[in-house]
Amino acid sequence: MAAASPIISLVALGLLVVGVLAANLGIVAPMQGFMTYALGGLGGGLFSTLVALIALYTTRGGRDPEGRNKALIGLAIALALPIAVLAPATLIGGDAPPINDISTDLEDPPGFADADLVPDYRNRDMSYPADYVPIVRESYPDLSPLRVAAAPNAAFDQAVAAAEGLGWEVLAKDGAAGAFYARDVTGLFRFVDDVVVRIRPEGAGSKIDVRSKSRDGQGDFGANATRIHALLDAIEG
């Protein structure tokens, strides 16, 4: 048991690393990579800790000094595994609500295009969940449309340039609807999130609304709201 402790902990660590690398290299889907990462860090960490504690118990009293040292190494690795998973999530958006579709306009959320214009949306429900509205209002009270002095055409071009400057891929533009559709890819697991930016005339200027929606998972650790803020800040210059 003592000899196996560090090996089991290293296998769990390997699962964590493989999950990240496989998702980044496109070997597996982002969610599969994330689940492997979580399995290694949380499930593997818990099992490795249990094995290490049993090994420490069986080597107590100086019965097997070498085995005890191995058990301590296994325990150290095992305890670090869940921290490696939970700490980044807590730092990035630990207090974010478990939702994945955020909009600056909750009364009339910007709609995504038909699948004929953006094939990525085919066979997916792109409607805005009504039960998210009160959650967004409570959790992101600082999120609101951006009003600019520029006319809609100029504001549209400015918003497209800002999105591309952030590294988003613009999938389609719909001048008649005053909207464009883009996608952004997260850094760690390559999750794809969809974004629609809508520009409407308001007085002599324009009102810009943004909606950002994750393709996978239930929660987003605040990534969609952060993305919206980044775009609006970029447009404001």
Concatenating the DSSP letter of every residue in 50-82 gives HHHHHHHHHTGGGT-HHHHHHHHHHHHHHHHHH
Per-residue model confidence (pLDDT) at position 93:
58
Exposure pattern of 136-169 as b/e (b: 16+ CB <10 Å)? beebbeebebbebebebeebbebbbebbeeeebe
Q: Tell me the residue length of the chain.
A: 237
Distance CA 200, CA 152 (A): 6
| pLDDT at residue 160, rounded to an integer | 97
Instruction: Return the CA Rg of the chain.
Output: 23
Q: How far apart are CA 83 and CA 45, in angstroms?
A: 9
Q: How many Å apart are CA 170 and CA 95, to the nearest integer? A: 30
Going from N- to C-terminal start, the domains of the chain cover 4-93, 101-236
Is the CB of residue 87 less than 8 Å from the CB of residue 81?
Answer: no
* Overall pTM surpassing 0.75 (yes/no): yes
Separation of alpha carbons 95 and 112, rounded Å: 28
**Per-residue confidence of the chain (237 residues) as pLDDT tens digits?**
688 899 999 999 999 999 999 998 889 998 999 999 999 999 999 999 999 999 998 898 877 889 889 999 999 999 999 988 877 666 655 678 999 999 999 999 999 999 999 999 999 999 999 999 999 999 999 999 999 999 999 999 999 999 999 999 999 999 889 999 999 998 888 899 999 999 999 999 999 999 999 999 888 889 999 999 999 999 986
The pLDDT assigned to 94 comes to 63
Q: Residue with structure tokens 């689940």?
A: 35
Question: What Cα–Cα distance (Å) separates residue 68 from each residue in 13, 54, 58, 73?
Answer: 20, 10, 9, 9
Q: Give the single-character DSSP code of 221.
A: T
Task: In whole angstroms, give the CA distance from residue 121 to residue 40.
Answer: 32
d(CA 237, CA 50): 53
Q: In this predicted structure, what is the pLDDT of residue 193?
A: 96
Give the CATH number of domain 101-236.
3.30.530.50
Cα–Cα distance measured from residue 72 to residue 106, given in angstroms and rounded to the nearest whole number:
53
